[in-house]
Amino acid sequence: MRFYQTSWLLALCIGTIINASDILEVDLVFPRNETYSPTEWFPIVFAFQNAERARYLNPEITYTFWDLDNANNSRTRIHDLRWTNWIGQDTFYAYHYYGYFKEEGRWRVRWSLSWQSCDEDAFESHPLSADMINNSSTWSTWFTLQSSAPKVDLVAATAKKTCPEEYGMAINVTDKTMEVPMWVTWSGGDYTNDTCAVVASSTPTPTPDPCRVHIDKTIVASMEASLKSDLCKGIDRPSDCPEDKNNAAHQLAVAGISCLLAAVGALGFFLV
């Protein structure tokens, strides 16, 4: 008897997990509010969990990092995700390696996620005056670079069992999509065939769980391969670049994202 009850409970739990698949979650995976040792190439990694749900939302991540000891030393980057192939992606990583973190210091990171969704009621009942629903959300964190601290290790950093919710944003994206009325201006429309998704106004809002993202060695290897392939295309080529121009680093499962450098005057630091 007990056994059957347990099975039922299990079945219920599985049911909840499946329902949760309408939830898109976007997390800052690395860095967190911790201390790391300075490194030549320091990653900043965002994860889209259940990434396929991002397909019609035109998401964009903008972030700025500041040197807390020199406010002039700051950079702003944008992850331009418009050309991302979201289909079939379970977890999608938007990441970039930076060469600014070679010395000890304290840094602040502030990031914003913006997205747009259909205004279901307006599109249906008064489309002429309808508009997209714009949303965005901003968070920030700090991190410290200190020579005595552990080395940057994405696998260890994401193996933790607890991590604060404020590193993530969960969006309940329904199955319903709509055609954006022709006269509504929406930059995302060019990439979605003018299709938007309806976001549920669910209360309470779903709770993000950034701890579900676990970066494994394979993912790190492909991120590093993508970094290396970028470096090998640059001016200061590392000595161990492959001669073969058709190297496969670009075809790896984890796609690196091209970022736009928004900070003026930072070109000297930019890895080409």
Ligand X SMILES: *[C@@H]1O[C@H](CO)[C@@H](O)[C@H](O)[C@H]1NC(C)=O
Neighbour count for residue 244 (Cβ, 10 Å) = 7
Q: Is 38 in the site for ligand X (CB under 6 A)?
A: no
72, 147, 162, 246: which one contacts ligand X (CB under 6 A)? 72
124, 153, 179, 216: which one contacts ligand X (CB under 6 A)? 179
Q: Is 193 in the site for ligand X (CB under 6 A)?
A: yes
Least distance between ligand X and beta carbon 185 (Å): 5
Q: Is 113 in the site for ligand X (CB under 6 A)?
A: no
Closer residue to ligand X in complex, CB, 7/136: 136
- The answer, yes or no, to whether the previous bond of 204 is cis (omega within 30 of 0) is yes
Q: Is 134 in the site for ligand X (CB under 6 A)?
A: yes
| Residues contacting residue 42 through CB under 8 Å, at least 6 positions apart | 31, 36, 97, 98, 99, 100, 101, 152
Which tokens in the block code for residue 262? 């928004």
Task: Provide the residue type at 151 as one letter.
Answer: K
CB-CB contact of 100 with 80 (8 Å):
no
Exposed e or buried b for every residue in 46-73, given b needs 16+ CB within 10 A? bbbbbbbbbbbbbbbbbbbbbbeeeeee
Task: Provide the residue type at 225 as one letter.
Answer: A
200, 220, 252, 266: which one contacts ligand X (CB under 6 A)? 200
Q: Is 20 in the site for ligand X (CB under 6 A)?
A: yes
Closer residue to ligand X in complex, CB, 5/185: 185
Q: Which residues pair with 15 in a beta bridge?
A: none
Least distance between ligand X and beta carbon 259 (Å): 21
52, 131, 224, 230: which one contacts ligand X (CB under 6 A)? 131
Q: Is 174 in the site for ligand X (CB under 6 A)?
A: yes
Q: Is 112 in the site for ligand X (CB under 6 A)?
A: no
Q: Which residues bind ligand X (CB under 6 A)?
A: 20, 22-23, 33, 70, 72, 131-135, 141, 172, 174, 179, 185, 193, 200, 202, 206
